[in-house]
Amino acid sequence: MATKLIFLFWVFLLLLYKVKPDLDNVGPLLTQLTDGFNAEHNSMSLDDAVIDNNGVLQLTNESVQVDSHAFYKYPVKFKNSSSGKVMSFSTTFAFALINEHGNQGRYHFAFTISPSGALPGPYLGQLKARNDGNISDHVFTVAFTIRHPKFSDIDDNHVVVGLNCSKLSNKSVRVDRSLRRKNSLTLKSGHVIQVWVEYDAGINQLNVSLAQESDRPKSAFLSYNVDLSPIFKESMFIGFFASTDRPPSSSHYVLGWSFNINGDAKNLNLDKLRLKLPKMNGSKKNHPGLGLIVGVSVSSALVVILGIVLVLYNVRKLKKTDVVEAWELDIGPHRFSYEDLKKATKGFGDKELLGFGGFGRVYKGTLPNSNTQVAVKRVSENSKQGLREFASEVGSIGHLRHRNLVQLLGWCRRKCDLLLVYEFMPNVSLDKYLFDEPKAILSWEQRFKIIKGVASGLLYLHEEWEKTVVHRDIKAGNVLLDSEFNGKLSDFGLAKLYERGSNPSTTRVVGTLGYLAPELTRTGLPTTSSDVFAFGALLLEVVCGRRPIDHKAVSEELMLVDWVWEKWSLGAILDVVDSRLGGEFDEVEVDLVLKLGLKCSNHAPESRPTMRHVVRCLETKLALEEEDFMQSYPTTSVSVGDNEDIADVEDVLTPSFSVFSGDDR
């Protein structure tokens, strides 16, 4: 019996050893720093930096020509001992750069990984050596930089990836340019900004994301293909570096921090951390007669405040009024009251939020009188989809009726609040079932039904309604699925109506990267043929389960249409079918859809089929003539996002370094 107990005890210890987390990599960092830094039980090594009573790490103050750093005390094991390759890692932190004298001055702030907790030198990321040797190499930095005279900085609001202490950045990206389709960020604004730095060792890719919210953006604005294994040592120290140059200077704050090896860093509560940020204080000077001045000032201020309160009351009262202008009387769909929609969405609460993008937010709601579930699209005040696009969406969708178009039930406008009410689609959008980690794997039967449904809806827009409607933003994210997984086209905010037989007048290039026909970058004129091109991209991604442009793929598979065309030319077109289908699909149908996708992707608009021809092929499974199909040679097209200048195209498709500015939907 005793022998048995001893045996069980050793088995227990063995199991405990195998399942214990690898805390040797990061020490107690995950639980200590996410809500701020602890001054009493500090796990940071500080040099010219302090931790205040609120748990905020302050790297610099208003002094000039200051270099400071704060490193985590414990070394982090970055390399696998057997392979010598750097492991994946993830970190997120919240920081603020505050200058009480405005936006002047020159200064730097950086997240740093170095061989030791060394003293920083006079330049960004340039660390001094300790007495035990030179560490000028093996240093990694992601810096958030205000223009410095010692560097060839691209502007005063950019992010730098630096390797091996080089005074010149390895990769630099303008923050305002990369994020211009969202609320723009300014590093020196004094606002709290959250950063995500993630390295995927499997594909040697570094991603950096920025936001002023707690939720990480779906797309990184800086992606850099780099192998960090030659740069990193087996164990490294992680921390922050800050420096100031000339007056007026600034204060650098880090409010929270999380780090992890081979996993996602723990989330930060940005709302909670913002409360810890010190308030800016102006200079105080003693002045004779201060009491008299204060008394007169307070009395005057009260009069001014009273006037402001009265004005704000009247403005607020006016804003709550649902104003109806003359042009709105001609719009057909039902007009909801603002209060009804506010009640339906529980005050537009976060729990009812279905999604968001460049246009604003979409909320789930239940109409109070009928208990009907709806989706309420609330267009933001600063959205690029403003009153003109709003009127376009209401005016077009309101009169359209087709089983494969999302039905517009009504609308509402109250001053700057623009709201559209749609039928609710419980299975959300098609892209959630195709890419990344899908909600579920759609069978081929479901995919083929969705394809035919979307084709039918697009044919109705192009030829079967009284006017021609060009959708201009056909993609998986704009195909919604009802309870039976029927596909329905949505988001007509970019739709352009014109009388059949005439040419659209717009020259503004709109749409999504990977779906835009090549001629749009030259002419900017949307047509039914450019819609067909986007539909071709949709056909290929539904079959392949991949995006039109996959930056994680090998170079020969980067552009989906080129890869499919190459496989067809080699007689192996079925090799591109989504492996998650497990080989269970109709080969005739798959072959037809792929060939239609390539034909629709033809670089010459006149060589693309019409949607009527596409629908006929899908309904009858009509095989394409070989001679006809061989004329459809697709070419990789360079496309730009909504309102992006054509000149920006080269920046988007740089081979190893990408700047994304598409929407996050």
**Residue 293 pLDDT > 70, yes or no?**
no
| Segment 102-116 mean pLDDT | 75
In the chain, % helix, strand, coil (3-state, to 5) comes to: 30, 25, 50
Q: Whole-prediction pTM value?
A: 0.49
Q: What was the pLDDT predicted at 449?
A: 97
Provide the pLDDT confidence category of residue 277 given band limits of 50, 70 and 90: confident
Q: What is the pLDDT of residues 152-172, one digit of tens each?
A: 455 667 888 888 765 444 676
473 annotated active-site: yes
Provide the pLDDT confidence category of residue 100 given band limits of 50, 70 and 90: low
List of domains in the chain: 25-274 (2.60.120.200), 335-423 (3.30.200.20), 430-658 (1.10.510.10)
**Residue in 245, 473, 491, 578 annotated catalytic:** 473
Stretch among 174-188, 189-203, 433-447 having the lowest mean pLDDT? 174-188
Stretch among 88-102, 325-339, 364-378 having the lowest mean pLDDT? 325-339
| Segment 625-642 mean pLDDT | 49
Q: What is the pLDDT of residues 311-369, one digit of tens each?
A: 676 666 555 555 555 555 555 567 888 889 999 999 999 899 988 765 678 999 999 87
Provide the pLDDT confidence category of residue 412 given band limits of 50, 70 and 90: confident
Q: In what order do the strands lie in the sheet with 408-414?
A: 334-335, 408-414, 417-423, 373-379, 360-366, 353-357
Residue 648 has what DSSP assignment? G
**Cβ neighbours of residue 163 closer than 8 Å, sequence gap 6 or more:** 139, 140, 141, 170, 226, 231
Q: What was the pLDDT predicted at 252?
A: 87
**Among residues of the chain, what percentage have pLDDT more than 70?**
65
Task: Report which of 207, 127, 205, 134 is spatially closest to residue 166, judged by C-alpha positions.
Answer: 127
Q: What is the pLDDT of residues 57-72, one digit of tens each?
A: 888 876 666 778 888 8
Q: What was the pLDDT predicted at 622?
A: 78
d(CA 533, CA 539): 10
Provide the pLDDT confidence category of residue 48 given band limits of 50, 70 and 90: confident
**Residue 489 pLDDT > 90, yes or no?**
yes
Provide the pLDDT confidence category of residue 446 given band limits of 50, 70 and 90: very high
- Most confident listed range (32-46, 175-189, 411-425, 609-623): 609-623
CB 123 within 8 A of CB 65: no
d(CA 587, CA 359): 40
CB 567 within 8 A of CB 573: yes
Rounded to 10°, the helix 611-620/444-459 angle is 150
d(CA 647, CA 84): 42
- Most confident listed range (58-67, 292-301, 411-420): 411-420
| Segment 217-229 mean pLDDT | 86
